[in-house]
């Protein structure tokens, strides 16, 4: 099982688009996928057709101890993909969490006994580095960072990377950045390629080979409550996210081997 937070503290970089469509494509590859929406804007939930205004239970109630995991789980029209939805009430959770004991690990504790059923758990984080994002980082082992291939792509990255380092030292020693997703790529411009080259120089082999192209159909699909694979199976966005999912799946063997080596070294020590 892989647990992955999809994070960037900047908005409008393709974070939720990547979370939703990568999850749908992984499920299309016969993986069992759990999506967790921990963003109060609830865009991931809307992307899968959830009416967030009619929700009786959401991740807010799970984190506040007012519902269990089964009580907040929603099915989707994608076989093999389930969702823990969000809603605007979650925006008040950060204030409520401040006074709680173990406030950074509330999400981790709430979902720990239910994750064994899934091959992938993808957490869509808010565009901030507050307590909700810290809860996501405490609950996962991996981080994917979507970066737009535009001029200010790497702006603010040092703050994000410093936060990841602090979480790794103090809360979650297993946490690693294992994927950078280049988004909004425009093959017609030299700028997109130049920025992509800079991203690869900065993050090296953690950058996925698949770049997500700018695509009108991709931008339209959330308003219809559908991932791009359902909204337009022939769109460029569908092809891009299927290719990305195949890359993510290909990581499994390498990551498994690395974890085995780490365990053997720990046992030898």
Inter-residue contact 119 to 73 (CB < 8 Å): no
Residues of the domain holding 187? 2-268
State the Cα–Cα distance between residues 227 and 207, nearest whole angstrom. 23
Query: Along the 269 residues of the chain, how does pLDDT read in single tens digits?
Result: 999 999 998 888 889 999 999 999 999 999 999 999 999 999 999 999 999 998 999 999 999 999 999 999 999 999 999 999 999 988 888 888 887 778 899 999 999 999 999 999 999 999 988 899 999 999 999 999 999 988 888 888 888 999 999 999 999 999 999 999 999 999 888 999 999 999 999 999 999 999 999 989 999 999 999 999 999 999 999 999 999 999 999 998 777 766 666 666 656 65
User: String of b and e for 200-213 (b: at least 16 CB within 10 Å)?
Assistant: eeebeebbbebbbb
Residue 152 DSSP symbol: T
Check which CATH number belongs to the domain holding 181 and give it. Answer: 3.40.50.300
In the chain, how many H helices and how many E strands? 12, 7
Residue 183 β-bridge partners: 148
Q: How many CB atoms are located within 10 Å of the residue 59 CB?
A: 31
Q: What pLDDT does 18 receive?
A: 96
Domain count, the chain: 1
Q: What pLDDT does 248 receive?
A: 97
Task: Output the pTM of the full model.
Answer: 0.92
Alpha helices in the chain (DSSP H): 15-28, 43-47, 59-63, 69-72, 93-98, 106-111, 131-139, 157-170, 190-203, 216-220, 228-231, 236-268
């Amino acid at each position: 099982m892989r647990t992955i937070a999809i994070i960037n503290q900047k908005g409008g970089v393709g974070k939720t688009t990547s979370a939703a469509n990568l999850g749908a494509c992984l499920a299309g590859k016969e993986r069992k996928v759990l999506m967790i929406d921990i963003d109060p804007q609830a865009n991931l939930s809307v992307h899968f057709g959830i009416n967030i205004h009619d929700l009786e239970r959401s991740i807010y109630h799970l984190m506040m101890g007012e519902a269990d995991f089964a009580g907040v789980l929603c099915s989707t029209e994608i076989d093999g993909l389930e969702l823990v939805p969000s809603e605007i009430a979650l925006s008040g959770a950060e204030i409520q969490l401040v006074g709680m004991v173990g406030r950074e690990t509330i999400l981790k504790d709430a979902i720990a006994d239910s994750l064994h059923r899934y091959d992938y758990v993808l957490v869509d984080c808010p565009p901030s580095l507050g307590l909700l994002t810290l809860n996501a980082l405490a609950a996962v082992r991996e981080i994917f960072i979507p970066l737009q291939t535009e001029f200010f792509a790497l702006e603010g990255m040092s703050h994000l990377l410093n936060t990841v380092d602090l979480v790794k030292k103090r809360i979650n020693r297993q946490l690693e950045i294992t994927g950078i997703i280049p988004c909004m790529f425009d093959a017609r411009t030299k700028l997109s390629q130049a920025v992509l080259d800079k991203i690869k120089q900065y993050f090296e082999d953690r950058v996925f080979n698949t770049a997500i192209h700018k695509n009108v159909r991709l931008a339209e699909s959330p308003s219809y409550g559908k991932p791009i694979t359902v909204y337009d199976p022939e769109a460029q966005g569908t092809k891009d996210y299927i290719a990305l999912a195949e890359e993510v799946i290909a990581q499994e063997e390498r990551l498994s081997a690395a974890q085995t080596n780490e365990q053997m070294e720990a046992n030898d020590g």
